[in-house]
Amino acid sequence: MYNHAMPVSEAEKRQLEERSYAVLHNWMSPELLTEARAALDAQFAAEGDNAGAEFRKEQETQRLANLVDKGEIFRRIVSMPEILEYVAAVIPGDFKLSSLNARAPNPKSDWVQPLHCDTGAVADEKGNSVCNVIWMLDDFTPENGATRLVPGSHKWLRLPQDAVTDTMAPHPDEILLTAPAGSVAVVNTHAWHGGTANRSGGTRRCLHAFYCRWDKPQQQFQRDMLSEATKAGLSPALRQLLAIDDAYNAEISLANPFRSGFLK
């Protein structure tokens, strides 16, 4: 059975505040999961060796970037009202989509991402400015590269690279975000986190719908990265979520392009 969560409960808000994440188990309907997998696989096939090139490539990993431009299902996914309620529980006030990427660590690989905070950001006097929603399109297991996370570390206001000698090493307090395919993890990504190695023989596909506060640059500047055809078909609500007509967003996003927490 899949389970469409009701608006964010007080317990979930507490969990997000104290532990940095909430996992909505089996949140996607079977139809949505099948559709998302098919769209992602088709996009990987279409882009081939060039996949992910609009943003950054990562060793031993398949990535896709700028997915809002690449299918209606992706636009639907970033704007699901129930999920945006969770994002609003992390980021105070107005927020926007920063980027929609996909990530699949190669099977039978030892590559582990360093612990990082998304875009290298710590919370500031206005509070949290980043939230990543991980749409799990395969089971996330200890063997296939489930995301690791140090719960509560979003409150430390320090980047892991400034605090530990080896960001690739396991952290004593880290946990793995494990859940069945079709689950959705909402993560305060000021928390220290990263992908782990996919030592299994199977795929571990996910979408990263990354949101940021209104006053932070978009990781992928949607106004310029989306085609005219895509933009012409956007609803007013999506135009707002993507900050298409936001002059301040244009100014700061053009001045700070493609910021990652660790990819160069």
Q: For residue 106, give both structure tokens.
A: 């190669």
Is the Cβ of residue 26 or residue 189 nearer to ligand AKG in the bound state?
A: 189
Per residue, what are the HEC states of 123-191? CECCECCEEEEEEECCCECCCCCCEEECCCHHHCCCCHHHCCCCCCCCCCCCEEECECCCCEEEECCCC
Q: What angle do CA 101, 107, 109 make, to 5 degrees?
A: 100
Chosen residue from 179, 194, 225, 249 binding ligand AKG by CB under 6 A: 194
Q: Which stretch binds ligand AKG (CB under 6 A): 72-80, 168-176, 192-200, 233-241?
A: 192-200
Is the Cβ of residue 114 or residue 152 nearer to ligand AKG in the bound state?
A: 114
Is the Cβ of residue 91 or residue 117 nearer to ligand AKG in the bound state?
A: 117
Between helices 81-90 and 10-19, what is the axis angle to 10°? 50
Burial of 253 (0-12, 13-18, 19+ CB in 10 A): buried
Q: Does 103 bind ligand AKG (CB under 6 A)?
A: yes
Q: For residue 189, give both structure tokens.
A: 């990504």
Chosen residue from 147, 198, 218, 219 binding ligand AKG by CB under 6 A: 147
Q: Name the minimum Å distance from CB 194 to ligand AKG.
A: 5
What torsion, rounded to 10 degrees, do the Cα atoms 115, 119, 123, 128 define? Answer: -110
Q: Does 206 bind ligand AKG (CB under 6 A)?
A: yes
* Subset of residues 160 to 179 that bind ligand AKG, contact rule: CB under 6 A: none
Find out whether 190 and 124 touch, Cβ atoms under 8 Å: no
The β-bridge partners of 123 are none
Q: Name the minimum Å distance from CB 116 to ligand AKG.
A: 6
Is the Cβ of residue 26 or residue 119 nearer to ligand AKG in the bound state?
A: 119
Q: Does 193 bind ligand AKG (CB under 6 A)?
A: yes
Q: Does 195 bind ligand AKG (CB under 6 A)?
A: yes
Q: Which stretch binds ligand AKG (CB under 6 A): 4-12, 24-32, 190-198, 238-246?
A: 190-198
Q: Residue numbers of the site for ligand AKG (CB under 6 A)?
A: 103, 113, 118, 147, 193-195, 206, 261
